[in-house]
Structure 1
Amino acid sequence: MNKLLTRLLTLFTFLVLEVGVLLLVFLSSLAAFFYLTRVVFVQHSTELDQWGFAHMDQLRAAAPGLTPWVIGVTFFGSAPFLVAAGLLIPAALAWQKKKREALEVFWAVAGAAILNQLFKTHFHRLRPDTALFPQLGLSFPSGHAMIGTALYGCLAWLLWRHRRHPLWAVALLLWAVLIGGTRIYLHVHYTTDVLAGFVAGLAWLMLLRSGLHLWWKS
């Protein structure tokens, strides 16, 4: 009986801690997103955006051969790649009898993509006119940053949870950050677009994780 009570208490403590962490990260991400919307659309501040462009321009001037590599990296946050990953990775997981993980990855990508389009339509911010190459669509928040954070963040969580590979999980998160940085480098997004994409993608992941957790428990 004592062992059973101890296990139940441990499980309860873990669940409370997990929900608390998810809630804290979600609220922090939400607050950061709304702060960025205030900076961009209320204060009309361009200081952060110009700072980001200036540093990336210095990097491009110092290493001209870096641009083709940047274009290659940014592909892994593009719509064709994300659509393929959002379908093929869940299919592979489902084939391995990991239906929960498949569902989680699918909705991480699909939900982030839907929310990103809703946000872009609502805020209707035009892209920078200094872009290195033409880019269709609106600017705020960055889809590469938001959907990339959702995809790679979800994969990082699954790797850490099931495979216990924290280094690979960290590498995936850094990869998502790098993809977001390429958008500033190429001038196809403002710095605030990319930061908003990061925190919006993270907020969606926390919301999705909490919702699926409650659904599976029920």
Structure 2
Amino acid sequence: MKNLTARLLALGSLLTLEVLVVGSVFLGAALLFFYLTRVVFVEHSVRFDTWAFARMDALRATWPGLTGPVRGLTFFASLPWLVAVGVGIPGLLRWRGFRREAWEVLLAVAGSALLNQVLKTHFHRVRPASALFFQPGLSFPSGHAMIGLALYGCLAWLLWRHRRHPIWAGLLLGFAVLIGLTRVYLHVHYATDVAAGFAGGLLWLILLRTALRLYWREENQLTRKK
């Protein structure tokens, strides 16, 4: 009984403003993802996707030289880049003594990549036929949006948590959003794919962060008992 009470009190201590905000974001992301699956696979609506493609086409017609930089920007959530960064940054953090942070980044990238493939296989949406260049794989949700947000969102969180360069944390999140938008600009993903990718990336980050926080809390308690 005492052990149960202690655990309940420990959980209560976690109910901070941060937890309430993160919980609200998690709920919002989950509702958004569910809503998008309804729009795409139940209602079969293409209104939002058509509107988004039209806006991007108008932008490309106005600024035709933008396509090259956009293709360069989209590389920063491509498979080669994610493999290099997903291994390199955790290795660097581990070498500098940030063991827990290294695990956060590694699991953020690897876990979101695995979850993205599971979701793509489940929903099995074909990519847009109007893509500006060939891109293999399925479409929903966007891997660039989901894994990119998981990577840069995790790095942004680490910068914010350590109270170092909060502006850089905001820029990292903005960079992840821009990468997602490049997928719509290049017609390799529908806008609903990208929005679902953002929602999925947020969901994974929050679940991962919560799980690691609880695990390390237990680890610290066991260490103190020894």
Q: Under a length normalisation based on structure 2, what TM-score does the superposition of the two structures give?
A: 0.89
In structure 2, C-alpha distance between the alignment counterparts of 1:213 and 1:109, rounded to whole Å: 18
Partner of 1:4: none
Task: State the distance in 2 between where 1:40 and 1:132 align.
Answer: 22
How far apart in 2 are the matches of 1:103 and 1:54?
41
Structure 1 residue identity aligned to 2:64: P
Number of residue pairs the alignment of both structures matches: 208
Alignment of 1:125-164 (within 5 A): 125-164=125-164
Are residues 1:189 and 2:189 paired?
A: yes
Aligned-partner residue type, residue 192 of structure 1: T
Give how far 1:13 is off.
5.7
Q: Which residue of 1 aligns with 2:111?
A: 111
Map 1:53-202; keep pairs closer than 5 Å.
53-202=53-202
Rounded Cα–Cα distance in structure 2 between residues aligned with 1:127 and 1:14: 42
Cα RMSD (Å) of the superposition?
1.3
Residue 166 of structure 1, CA deviation: 1.3
Q: Report the alpha carbon displacement of residue 47 of structure 1 after superposing the two structures with TM.
A: 0.4
Instruction: Report what 1:3 is aligned to.
Output: none
Q: Name the CA distance, whole Å, in 2 between partners of 1:108 and 1:46.
A: 31
The letter for the 1-side match of 2:147 is I
Write the distance in 2 (CA, Å) between the matches of 1:213 and 1:155: 16
User: Structure 1 unaligned runs (5+)?
Assistant: 1-11
Comparing 25-34 with 185-194, greater Cα deviation is found at: 25-34
1:5 equivalent in structure 2:
none
Question: 1:29-53: per-residue Cα shift (whole Å, max 9, x none)?
Answer: 1111010000000000000000110
What is the aligned-residue identity percentage? 65
Deviations 1:68-106 (A, max 9, x none): 000000000101101111100000000001000000000
Question: Secondary structure of the residue that 1:141 maps to in structure 2?
Answer: coil
Contact map agreement 1:120 1:140 (CA 8 A) in 2: yes
For 2:13 and 2:21, locate their aligned partners in 1 and report how far apart those are by CA, in whole Å.
12
Deviation at 1:157, TM superposition (A): 0.5
Residue 24 (structure 1) shift? 1.9
- CA–CA separation in structure 2 for the residues paired with 1:79 and 1:107: 16
Give the CA deviation at 1:183: 0.2
Q: Structure 2: how far apart are the matches of 1:205 and 1:178?
A: 19
- Mapped to 2, the partners of 1:122 and 1:202 lie a distance apart of 19
> Would you say the 8 A contact 1:22–1:210 is kept in 2?
no
**Structure 2: how far apart are the matches of 1:196 and 1:26?**
13
1:109 counterpart letter in structure 2: V
CA distance in 2, matches of 1:180, 1:166: 22
Structure 1 Cα separation of the partners of residues 197 and 56 of structure 2: 18
Out of 157-166 and 77-86, give the one that drifted further.
Answer: 157-166
- How far is 1:18 from its partner? 2.8
Distance 1:14 1:199 in 2: 24
